[in-house]
């Protein structure tokens, strides 16, 4: 027997009991519930219910389609709501190709940006099925559920629009795997913290300008990282060991870093840092933030003075990728469920290896290689890429008595 559908849409001022009243009315008719969507924005309700029935009209106990319409319209009138009905002949929705999540971040987010992004989605032959706000400060973030698009094509198109509109856009496949990212591996310098630690040390050694120049060459990928590290560390020879304590006090976390780590640890994620910097400084971050795994270089100290050499294997670009793989094994987590976050060329291998690679305020070569880029100065914006809304973060913090700025 032919299956038909009827879409009932109620809209107007929200009030308690609307959903209950509507379904109570529908229960008197020989229909089944096929789909429901409801949203409330600033006290305005939109409730859509898709029902299915056999034959031309839902006859039987409760009467005809006309009787159903009359009953629904009367109920809507009682509730002060507007109602629309539309019919269809295909109960089975066509399976849509390319279910995707498109995350849009802006500070501020202008209407032109949303117009450009939605226009690109439409031009790709895709449809926006749902829009949900994840944050309204310090950045504005919306997540769009999109169907009917090829992810690679749409990602390329939206990257162009994001650059033109000066917003961040991430495109990810929908499904269980998106919710399964369970290990976060993050670079330290200019990512977790707002400085390059070797430059902080160099400032105390009186060689900041020369070290900064070599650092910039390495971050742009113009110089082998291991060689650049040796050259920079050599300039620190003779620096006193107690300088480490002074530099520890100078470390400033990137805004949102504590919120990011705290929230993901609360959700039972594992958190790791990998650094081309030095254990004498990263160990303090591990202890302060409760980080699970870490890898960094170690400066050689003899008789209280830096020798200008590094002890052991250097944590460089391939070393960071190896560390990510090692942490995943120790945590019992597949690589596909890892997230790598970095800003420089020496982060490229781990970003490529991870299930999701994120460029955070990164150099152009990293932004081009990563799955997505975040260019707002708030590290906790990464939570939105994982589908975690700010309201839930704040509610959990309040429940735990955490005071946030």
Cα–Cα distance between 339 and 72 in angstroms, integer? 48
363 SS3 class: coil
Residue 224: both structure tokens together: 């082998």
Cα distance between residue 397 and residue 261, in whole Å = 12
Task: Give residues with Cβ within 8 angstroms of 208, minimum separation 6.
Answer: 199, 202
Catalytic hit among 14, 168, 189, 371: 189
DSSP 401: T
Could you tell me which residues are beta bridge partners of residue 338?
183
- 365 secondary structure, DSSP code: H
Q: Return the closest-CA partner of residue 193 out of 244, 251, 245, 243.
A: 251
Is residue 187 annotated as part of the catalytic site, yes or no? Answer: yes
Distance, in Å, from the CA atom of 328 to the CA atom of 205, rounded to the nearest integer, reads 37
Q: Does the active-site annotation cover 150?
A: no
Contact call for residues 289 and 261 (beta carbons, < 8 A): yes
Catalytic residue of the set 14, 187, 349, 371: 187
Q: Where do runs of H (alpha helix) occur along 307-389?
A: 317-331, 348-353, 364-369, 382-385
Class of residue 335 by CB neighbours under 10 A (exposed 0-12, middle 13-18, buried 19+): middle
Report the half-sphere exposure of 399 (CA within 13 A, side-chain side).
8
Residue with tokens 């690589």: 335
Per-residue DSSP letter, 373: E
Residue 38: enclosing H or E segment and its boundaries? Answer: strand 32-41
The residues annotated with a catalytic role in the active site are 187, 189
């Amino acid at each position: 027997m032919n299956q038909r559908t009827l879409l009932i849409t109620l809209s107007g001022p929200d009030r308690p009991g609307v959903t209950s009243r509507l379904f109570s009315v529908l229960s008197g008719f020989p229909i089944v519930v096929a789909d429901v969507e409801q949203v409330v924005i600033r006290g305005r309700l939109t409730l859509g219910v898709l029902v299915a029935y056999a034959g031309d009209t839902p006859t039987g106990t409760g009467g005809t389609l006309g009787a159903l319409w009359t009953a629904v319209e009367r109920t809507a009138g009682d509730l002060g709501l507007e109602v629309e009905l539309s019919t269809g002949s295909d109960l089975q929705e066509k399976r849509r190709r390319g279910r995707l999540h498109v995350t849009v971040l802006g500070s501020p987010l202008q209407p032109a940006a949303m117009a450009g992004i939605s226009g690109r989605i439409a031009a790709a032959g895709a449809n926006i099925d749902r829009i949900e706000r994840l944050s309204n400060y310090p950045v504005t973030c919306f997540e769009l559920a999109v169907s009917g698009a090829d992810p690679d094509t749409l990602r390329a198109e939206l990257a162009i629009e994001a650059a033109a509109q000066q917003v961040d856009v991430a495109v990810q496949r929908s499904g269980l795997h998106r919710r399964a990212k369970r290990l976060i591996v993050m670079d330290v310098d200019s990512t977790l913290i707002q400085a390059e630690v070797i430059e902080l040390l160099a400032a105390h050694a009186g060689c900041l300008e020369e070290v900064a120049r070599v650092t910039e060459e390495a971050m742009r990928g113009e110089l082998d990282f291991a060689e650049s590290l040796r050259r920079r560390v050599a300039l620190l020879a003779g620096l006193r060991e107690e300088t480490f304590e002074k530099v520890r006090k100078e470390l400033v976390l990137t805004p949102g870093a504590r919120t990011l780590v705290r929230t993901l640890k609360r959700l039972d994620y594992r958190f790791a840092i990998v650094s081309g910097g030095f254990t004498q400084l990263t160990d303090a971050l591990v202890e302060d933030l409760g980080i699970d795994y870490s890898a960094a270089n170690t400066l050689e100290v003899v008789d209280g003075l830096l020798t200008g050499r590094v002890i052991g294997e250097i944590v460089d670009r391939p070393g960071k990728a190896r560390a990510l793989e090692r942490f995943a094994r120790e945590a019992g987590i597949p690589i596909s469920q890892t997230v790598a976050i970095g800003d420089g060329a020496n982060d490229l291998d781990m970003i490529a290896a991870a299930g999701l690679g994120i460029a955070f305020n990164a150099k152009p070569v990293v932004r081009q290689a990563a799955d997505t880029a975040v260019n707002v100065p708030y590290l906790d914006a990464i939570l939105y890429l994982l589908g975690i809304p700010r309201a839930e973060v704040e509610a959990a913090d309040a429940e735990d008595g955490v005071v946030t700025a």
